[in-house]
């Protein structure tokens, strides 16, 4: 059931920074064909700069997680949100049949919690406007004060093996839910008004 909706290629592309890059996704997401576009140190500006590399793969599904490195560069919440919105709008325009999943910016040290919550609130509201799914990772990854769960990290930012398992435990069912939906949008075909082809 639902196979008629699926694009020809079932490839999943993961886009992000070192958090994404560091995952052994073939092991963490068995059954998925994963292409990892995680790049250590990447900010939202960097993702925009290399977005065509992602678009050219024409994947069935894109899962995006980006933004934490911008905070280290003291970028504003507005800057980060605007850039992620630009990424999402561009993906939707260029890949109308691709399912898109926006993942909340991960918790890190609790001193960043208010900014990250603000970013995530904006992204949660924006995702439906580009027919993208939303995955809130905070319930699984954060403590009450917004600190990344110490069981999942050694440095309050990067994930250890337990952290990746916790993330994958949220990501796998989110991908399944997204795959069960009809295509996110259709390419617009104009009526043939002139009779020429």
In a domain, 47, yes or no: yes
User: Which CATH number covers residue 21?
Assistant: 3.40.50.1110
Rounded Cα–Cα distance for residues 100 and 96 (Å): 10
pLDDT for the residue 183: 60
pLDDT for the residue 181: 76
pLDDT for the residue 184: 54
Report the number of distinct structural domains present in the chain: 1
pLDDT for the residue 20: 98
Main-chain dihedrals φ then ψ at residue 174, nearest 5 degrees: -65, -40
pLDDT for the residue 10: 81
In a domain, 7, yes or no: yes
In a domain, 77, yes or no: yes
pLDDT for the residue 193: 46
State the virtual CA torsion across 130, 63, 168, 44 in degrees, nearest 10.
-100
pLDDT for the residue 189: 43
Please report the DSSP string for 129-185 in residue order.
Answer: GGT-EEE--HHHHB-TTSBBPGGG-SSSSS--HHHHHHHHHHHHHHHHHHHHSPPS-
pLDDT for the residue 196: 43
In a domain, 187, yes or no: no
Per 3-state DSSP, what percentage of the chain is helix, strand, and coil (rounded to 5)?
50, 15, 40
* Nearest CA among 53, 7, 62, 6 for reference residue 34: 62
pTM over 0.75: yes
Rounded Cα–Cα distance for residues 73 and 193 (Å): 52
State the virtual CA torsion across 159, 127, 58, 32 in degrees, nearest 10.
40
pLDDT for the residue 187: 46
Q: What is the pLDDT along the chain (197 residues), one digit of tens a residue?
A: 444 444 444 899 999 999 999 999 999 999 999 999 999 999 999 999 999 999 999 999 999 999 999 999 999 999 999 999 999 999 999 999 999 999 999 999 999 999 999 999 999 999 999 999 999 999 999 999 999 999 999 999 999 999 999 999 999 999 999 998 766 554 444 444 444 44
In a domain, 191, yes or no: no
In a domain, 193, yes or no: no
Owning domain of residue 63: 3-180
């Amino acid at each position: 059931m639902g196979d008629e909706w699926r694009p020809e290629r079932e490839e999943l592309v993961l886009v992000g920074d070192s958090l994404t890059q560091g995952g052994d996704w073939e092991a963490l997401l068995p059954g998925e064909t994963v292409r990892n576009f995680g790049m250590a140190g990447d900010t939202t500006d960097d993702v925009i700069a290399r977005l065509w590399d992602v678009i050219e793969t024409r994947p069935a599904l894109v899962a995006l997680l980006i933004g934490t490195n911008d905070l280290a560069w003291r970028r504003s919440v507005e800057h980060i949100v605007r850039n992620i919105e630009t990424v999402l709008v561009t993906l939707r325009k260029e890949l109308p049949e691709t399912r898109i999943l926006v993942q909340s910016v991960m918790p890190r040290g609790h001193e960043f919690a208010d900014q990250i919550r603000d970013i995530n609130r904006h992204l949660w509201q924006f995702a439906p406007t580009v027919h993208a799914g939303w995955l809130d990772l905070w319930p699984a990854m954060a403590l009450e004060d917004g600190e990344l769960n110490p069981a999942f990290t050694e440095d309050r930012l990067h994930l250890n093996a337990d952290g990746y398992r916790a993330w994958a435990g949220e990501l796998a069912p989110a991908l399944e839910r997204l795959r069960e939906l009809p295509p996110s949008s259709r390419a617009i075909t104009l009526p043939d008004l002139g009779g020429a082809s």
